[in-house]
Amino acid sequence: MQPGEYETLFRVEAAHWWYLALRRVLRWHLERFQPGWREAAILDAGCGTGGNLAHLPGPGARVGLDRADAALAHCRRRGLRALVRGDVSALPFAEGSFEVVLSASVIYHQWVADPAVALGECHRVLRPGGLLLLDVPASDALWSAHDHAVMTARRFRARDLRRLVEASGFEVLRLTHWNTLLFPAVWAARRLGLSPEGRDFDPVAPPGGPRNTLLDAAMRIEAAGWRRMALPFGVSIHCAARRHGRYGLEG
């Protein structure tokens, strides 16, 4: 990510509709598949400025990892202290160190040369039966100037993400698109040039107060849908997966 983007993310993460929606997705899947998560050791692999980790209270260990010093500096501004500078493709932790690994908007990045290697590392540091929460951008049709700003290397199709996660030794528990209601508007803005830089609906271009409230309300309505069934398209894809036994083996 370009250095200036970290300051922008730090500034908007607390109240911006997109980040509120993301945390809603993460929290719901965490509650469903890891009911004792408050006591669990959780790693945020690619924690950015720490907005997600800061919203996961509990007595269990909370560790943030990022390779960017600027990201970790913003985490410290949030009061986070268990921070490690490192690469998601070579996690500096022993096997089975965590019960939950979350990784949101990470394996899409140019700094991740091979997403399979990063997922293998997530598998390694999870305990048997541990939970992976993975969030990625969807659809090549949504490429925009924003992707260049945040150094996007790849967007994903749901079936390809499922194959990748399963090949890394996980059982996929749930895979759904989200940010579905806004997909047509995002597509139009980015593909038809309805906004000058294709950024109108991007999380780093926060709308004004009333607009933010309206879009957050739309995401709350949409949440009633993805909680009941997997949505077939959207701007993002969420995957919840369970670690098998030893890496690369079933059971």
Q: Confidence band (pLDDT; 50, 70, 90) for 187?
A: confident
Give how far Cα 192 sits from Cα of 149, 201, 235, Å. Answer: 19, 14, 16
pTM score above 0.75: yes
pLDDT of 3 over the 90 cut: no
Q: Buried b / exposed e across 114-143, counting CB within 10 Å, b at 16+?
A: ebebbbbbbbbbbeeebbbbbbbbbbeebe
Of 35 and 190, the structure prediction assigns the larger pLDDT to 35
Q: Confidence band (pLDDT; 50, 70, 90) for 208?
A: low
pLDDT in tens, 114-169: 999 999 999 999 999 999 999 999 987 787 777 776 777 699 999 999 999 999 99
CB 45 within 8 A of CB 71: no
Least confident window among 30-34, 77-81, 82-86, 205-209: 205-209
Assign domain 3-243 to its CATH superfamily. Vaccinia Virus protein VP39 (3.40.50.150)
Q: Residue range 22-43: average pLDDT?
A: 97
Helix spans in 51-93 (H): 69-77
pLDDT of residue 207: 59
* Average pLDDT score, the chain: 88
pLDDT of 51 over the 80 cut: yes
User: Which element (helix H / strand E) includes 30?
Assistant: helix 17-33
Token duo for residue 190: 């980015």
| In the chain, beta strands by DSSP E | 42-45, 62-66, 83-85, 98-104, 126-137, 170-178, 236-243
Q: Confidence band (pLDDT; 50, 70, 90) for 245?
A: low
